[in-house]
Amino acid sequence: MTPTTADRLSTVELKPSYNIPLVLVITAIPLLFIQPWLAGFCAILGLFLMLQAVTVRLQFTATDLDVYRGETRIRSFPYSEWQNWRIFWNRVPILFYFKEVKSIHFLPIIFDSNTLKACLEQRCPRT
């Protein structure tokens, strides 16, 4: 087995990233003086995304992208069904999109974007 094959077969779990949730919560503070309802929305969204970053994990296996909440796998996305993927705003990645044969998915980047991109390029190269 070559090193690239061994790398491809290894499972990679993405580390959480709290960048987006923190920006939303911090943005809510000055907004409180301008638009309280908008500040509340930003703060709640930021706290929700922070909770998701703490509890949700993405694992890249040899054949699937698995989504875990704690120790429980809640969804599996086989690469064989993927048609396309994209990370929006490469300089400041905020959104991950991928399209399967039957559906599309959008996920906020609440995990390490560099590892995400490396795993996607390795396991699901764009055509």
**pLDDT tens for residues 18-64?**
999 999 999 999 999 999 999 999 999 999 999 999 999 999 999 99
Q: Give tens-digit pLDDT for 63-118.
A: 999 999 999 999 999 999 999 999 998 888 999 999 999 999 999 999 999 999 99
Domain ranges of the chain: 3-123
- The CATH classification number of 3-123 equals 2.30.29
DSSP of 29-66: HHHHHH-HHHHHHHHHHHHHHHHHHHHEEEEE-SSEEE
Phi, psi (deg, nearest 5) at residue 104: -120, 155
pTM: 0.84
